[in-house]
Every structure is written in C-alpha cells, then in structure tokens.
Amino acid sequence: MHRIAACIAEGKITPTLLSFHDNRWRSRLTVLAFRGSRTTLKAPMNFLHERHLARLDVRASHRRVETLPRVSFEFFPPKTPQMEAQLWATVKALEPLLPQYVSVTYGAGGSTREATFVTVKRIAAETHLRPAAHLTCVGHGRGEIAKLLEQYWEAGVRHIVALRGDMPAGAGAATPPDGLAYAADLVAFIKSQADFEISVAAYPETHPQAVSAAADLDNLKRKLDAGAQRAIAQYCFDTAAFLRFLERVRRAGINAPIVPGILPVTNFGQVVRFSAMCGTQIPDWLAELFEGLDDDQDTRKLVAAMVATEQCRALQAEGISDFHFYTLNRADLTLGICRRMGLRPAALSEKESGFAEIATPVQRDPEMPD
C-alpha cells in the first residue's frame, strides 16, 4: 500500500480517482484530485466512517451482487424555461433504465401544485415511465385534495407519495377546518377515494419535529397501517444509522419495504443547509472529502459518484435491493452510479412526444427544490 502511495506521489500512477483496499487495516487510499503536478492525497480513509465497521465490512461492498437493484428517481417541477429543458433532458436520459417509478415533488403548501400536475401528466403521457405524484395535506381541504386525486386518476396516474408537508414561510394556519392534519390521515383519505398505490416518508435520523425517535417510528407505523405500501427514506449519509433504523423498524413489526434515499452530493454547501432543515447529519468524513473543492466541479462530481456508489454497494451487501435517487433534475451522476450497480439502458420505442427535439443542456450544479 505504501508503495502505491509512493508511485502516485512520484507521478508513476496518474488516474483522476483511485481507491484500493488494505485488507489488514480495512483502510482506504484515495486520490481525490490531481491539479497539475500537485497531488491531493488522503490516506487512509474509511468512506463508511470508523463506526460503520462495527456493522459493515467495507470489503463486502465490492463483492459481486447477483441481483440487479430496483431503482426509482425523484424530480422536482421546473421554475424557468432553462430548468424545464434540463428536467426533460434528464427524464429522457434516465428513462431507458426503466425504474420502478419516478416521483415529482410538491412545493411547500402546494406552491407547485399546478407545475407538479403538468409534469406528472406529461411523464405519464409521453414516456415509458410510471410517475408518482407527491401530495401534501398541509394547507388543503378535503374537497381540494379529492379533486386533485380525481385529476390524477383521469390522467392515468396510480401512485401517490403522501406527505404532511410544510407551509411556506409566513403563511397562516396550516390545516383548514375540513383539512387533514397528518400524513396518516392523508393516506386513509386517499384510500377512501380510489385504490392508489401509496408511498410515504421515513426518517432514519428522526424527523426534526418529532418528539422522539420512538414517536417518529410510531407515526411511520400509522402511515403504513393506514394503507401505504412502502416508505421512502430521507437521504442519510451514515449507512450504519440507516441499518440501525431498519432494525428498529422490523422490531416494531413493520414489514413494508423501507427504501433508502440516495443523494449524490455535488453542491456541498447547499446540501449542508438543506440537511439542517430536514434533520440529516453531515459526517465529518464527508465534509473532509469536499473540502477545498468549491471551484473544482469535475472533482466534486467524481467524489459525489464515488461516495454514493460506495453507499449503494454497502447496502446491497446487506441485502437491500431497492434505491430511491434524489436526482435534483440531473442525470449524469445517477446514470453513472446505476451503471456501476449493474443496470444497463434498455432499447425503447419512441412515444409520441417532443423529446426527440430536446437538446441536452449544459448540466448545471443542482439546486435543492423548495
């Protein structure tokens, strides 16, 4: 291992990104970036963090996984023509992977309700994808929700991601007199209207507004008992924390699928701010990986792909086969990660759409949706 480090330092080995296992110390040697003749070297380093090794053998993440993963992708409705072009180029690029479904988010208090509906409807009509519409109950009355559900059903959409949601900053009362206060109430109401497939949210590191982890788990159980088929987990960079959460879920008698959320990180500062709002912890090792890379987009992308791929393969080694990718409306990293996990694009027949005329825009650093 030291000979490898010496060769890199001497310039005898010059790839942009290398990672090697040291089986004795279970450490990792990583070359993060080569800037001219200078080498930025961090060694040894565990991407799963030292605490993870009590549960995870990092060597397991490189064992051959015989079962191909099942993936789903999340998009958010665009706000500008440029963002719209990038969204549909991303949809077009990811479509051949044939995910289980793709979901479209719903802004705080229904602020993107129309844009979400238009996006979901177009995906259903013009692609081979199965769209799932995010729907929140905060700020909506039952009649309003029922009307929107009817519109989705008529558009051929059969999958809803049911969430409580948050009101926009400065808004008034969250629940109208005829409204629904909690996601479990929304799930039950959706089931009373039509036989939708329903997904709900789970929080491996506990919802920031939950009284306790136990109370948060009880709430998850209420949502699933009300009729939801699965829970999609908030992204979590601490793989061991997700596995501990999954153990607690099973001990609570919850047998529904809990799908880990995977967020490829490229704009680290933005992820830190968003994570503070949603209760996701940022491990020190992750901050160290992105330190000094604010102006180096290419290296940031390499690091982001590496970290997400390592996490997915570690989870696969633990028997997990479903993954939900928060794409932030860009395809490049998700495509690369899925390919490393063994997925290959399928040949699809063209559906009647304007996709053939879409030119792939320059991939911008992603922005967190509202």
The catalytic position among 74, 95, 205, 310 is 74
320, 261 contact by CB (below 8 A): no
Residue 74 falls in the annotated catalytic set: yes
Residues in CB range of 174: below 8 A, 6 or more apart: 138, 139, 167
- SS3 (DSSP) at 63: coil
Cα–Cα distance, 234 to 324 (Å, whole number) = 9
Is the preceding peptide bond at 44 cis, omega within 30 degrees of 0? yes
Alpha-carbon gap, residue 325 to 84, rounded angstroms: 19
- Beta strand 70-75 pairing with 322-326: parallel
Q: Which of 303, 314, 291 is nearest to 30 (CA)?
A: 303
Give CA–CA dist 337/309, Å, rounded. Answer: 6
* Tokens standing for residue 308: 């997400």
Q: Which helix (H) or strand (E) holds 74?
A: strand 70-75
Residues β-bridged to residue 247: none
The set of catalytic residues is 74
